[in-house]
Amino acid sequence: MSVSAAAPPASSLSAARAALPQLPRRLDPLALLALPALLFMAVVFLMPLLLLLWASVRAEGGFSLAGYVRVLGDSYYIGVIGNSLRLGLVTAFGALLLGYPAAFALARARGYAQAILFALVFLPLTVSIIVKSFGWGIVLRRDGILNWLLISLGLIERPLRMLFTEESLYAGMINVFLPFMVLPIYSVVRMLDPRLSEAAATLGASPLFRFLRITLPLSLPGVVAGLSIVFSLAVAAYVTPSLLMGDRYMTMSMVMAKAFLNLRDWQLGSAMAAVLLALAVAVVVGAGLLQRRLARHGQ
């Protein structure tokens, strides 16, 4: 008669497995496909960025923070930073006001109507920013299309000064970056279930209540993504402010260009670029954290 040994309890097996050294998991070969892209980004982005940061603290005598002292301690450069932040905020929220309903129209359209709306969103992305900025200059100058139309309709007697004003700059910036607001919101709105709003309507909810309590909260991830993208692009814009305002509205990018190209002040330009990079990173990281929080609340 054979006697079988009693099986050890499951808890003992678990403790034994935990005590054994964990062998590293084998690297997925598919992960190696990302290696060329990582090397490319390291060469064309990371190395120049490190050189830029080093130039911002390098002087003839060695390490120096004089560039940051000039950028953050001079009232002129503080005003330039304020101009860039104001331009980014106005552009982002102006694009939100126009892009939010456009994203819903794009998501709800069907057939040829959706194809036409897609074309209206994507075709501006194929046109150079320089071309679009020059186009706004043609429209807004004293002998431009808009002044001609207003005079022809009898609304004004003489041409108005529209070019080289902050209003023209804001209009041009919103026009340039509007697609970057529409697409993130559209990607979220197209995933919304329309039956949620219909169910709320059957329970007696008004259209405003349905929008504020159902549609808007569910579309907030797209809104946050669009605001962060447009703000980051607008705060660093150079071409459109230069063509539509010139030196009357100095931005951080314009100061950087003058420091590098005209003044040959590498430390000043690098310090301003580092401040701009810090603002952009803060916006992107903050938007990412906010999106994660919204996703947790949505679950």
Q: How many domains does the chain have?
A: 1
Predicted TM-score (pTM) of the model is 0.82
Task: Return the SS3 of 59.
Answer: strand
**d(C-alpha 243, C-alpha 235), whole Å:** 16
Residue 282, in any domain of the structure: yes
**Cα separation, 201 vs 209, whole angstroms:** 9
Please name the residue that has the structure tokens 């970056």: 177
Residue 153, domain member (yes or no): yes
Output the six-digit token pair for 261.
């190209």
The parent domain of residue 113 ranges over 55-298
41 belongs to a structural domain = no
Which residue spans within the chain are E strands per DSSP? 58-59, 62-63
The pLDDT value given to residue 234? 95
Is 199 inside a domain boundary? Answer: yes
> Which tens digits make up the pLDDT trace of 31-47?
788 888 989 988 888 89
15 part of a folded domain = no
- b/e map 261-287, b = 16+ CB within 10 Å: eeeeebbbbbbbbbbbeebbeebeeeb
Q: How much is the pLDDT for 278? A: 92
Q: What is the CATH number of the domain that holds 142?
A: 1.10.3720.10
pLDDT in tens, 101-136: 999 999 988 888 888 988 888 888 888 888 888 888
pLDDT given for residue 12 in this prediction? 54
Q: Could you say which residues of the chain have pLDDT below 50?
A: 1-5, 13, 20, 23
